[in-house]
Amino acid sequence: MKLTLKIWRQKNAKSKGKFVIYKMENVSPEMSFLEMLDALNKKLVETGDEPVAFEHDCREGICGSCGMYINGHPHGPVPAVTTCLLSMRYFSDGDTITIEPWRALPFPVIKDLIVDRSAMDKIQIAGGFISVNTGAAPEANSILVQKKNAEDAFDSAICIGCGACVAACKNASAMLFVSAKISQYALLPQGRVEAKDRVRAMVEKMDELGFGNCSNTGACEAECPKQIKLTNIARLKREYYKAY
């Protein structure tokens, strides 16, 4: 395939960025999106140009660090996949692909397509830990948990904190991320001990870091690569009201 890549280039958070056009040829449909960017960078290095900076780690759809805006969608136009799992077969010969970093005040640009997502870590840290005894693993049935609650807690816990929900929201809200992290504890008896302190601390930290209010449009759920549900936001609000 022949592709035209329109990529955002920016030296750092204080520099003025711009889109730069690159032409790619012989792109295999079997490549992943990141492999295609690897091929571009190889070409740039060989011609003496600076390669495009983008973040990645596991390339298995687990860590979420590969997140970037692709043709107006966080992680790309294919639902429920991260950028690293996005295949080039979803694009056609002659396509123009626009690639840019997350756009949110709490996610300052480090370079090119890489943003500082440490704000998500700070919210998670504010939530603290749970009070449980360490040592040998307890008998599995010593604390009974309803099957529905266990499944919902697991579905919430698979949030990878990639920031796609923030990027998708017109208000740059982190409500889906925070609600998923609240839900994974709130649904289990082990998480009830610090429940009130946890939700207050995480919401306060979210506001302090500059994330916006929930826009109620559902864009976060639609673009989430792990399909975290909006019902978590409703649970977060209930937990927050109960904490006061």
Give the pLDDT score at 196.
Answer: 95
Work out the pLDDT band at 135, boundaries 50, 70, 90: confident
State the DSSP H helix or E strand holding residue 190, giving kind and residue range, or none if neither: none
* pLDDT tens for each residue of 50-65: 999 999 999 999 999 9
143, with CB counted inside 10 A (0-12, 13-18, 19+), is exposed
The token pair that represents 38 in the structure block = 């690897």
| pLDDT of 133 over the 80 cut | no
* pLDDT tens for each residue of 156-209: 999 999 999 999 999 999 999 999 999 999 999 989 989 999 999 999 999 999
Work out the pLDDT band at 141, boundaries 50, 70, 90: confident
Do 202 and 182 form a contact (C-beta atoms < 8 A)? Answer: yes
Report the C-alpha gap between 84 and 67 in whole angstroms: 8
Average predicted confidence (pLDDT) for the chain = 95
Do 177 and 74 form a contact (C-beta atoms < 8 A)? Answer: no
Give the pLDDT score at 136.
Answer: 80
| pLDDT of 140 over the 90 cut | no
| pLDDT of 153 over the 80 cut | yes
Give the pLDDT score at 64.
Answer: 92
Domains of the chain, earliest start first: 3-110 (3.10.20.30), 118-242 (1.10.1060.10)
* pLDDT tens for each residue of 86-97: 999 999 999 999
- β-strand pairing of 109-111 with 96-100: unpaired
- CA 232, distance to chain mean position in Å, is 16
Report the C-alpha gap between 33 and 37 in whole angstroms: 6
Report the C-alpha gap between 36 and 52 in whole angstroms: 12
Give the pLDDT score at 125.
Answer: 96
Give the pLDDT score at 144.
Answer: 86
* pLDDT tens for each residue of 206-222: 999 999 999 999 999 99
Do 170 and 217 form a contact (C-beta atoms < 8 A)? Answer: yes
pLDDT above 90 as % of the chain: 90
- β-strand pairing of 3-9 with 96-100: parallel
Give the pLDDT score at 137.
Answer: 75
Q: Tell me the residue type at 90.
A: Y
DSSP state of 186: H
Alpha helices in the chain (DSSP H): 33-46, 118-127, 147-157, 164-168, 175-186, 195-208, 219-223, 231-242
DSSP state of 61: S
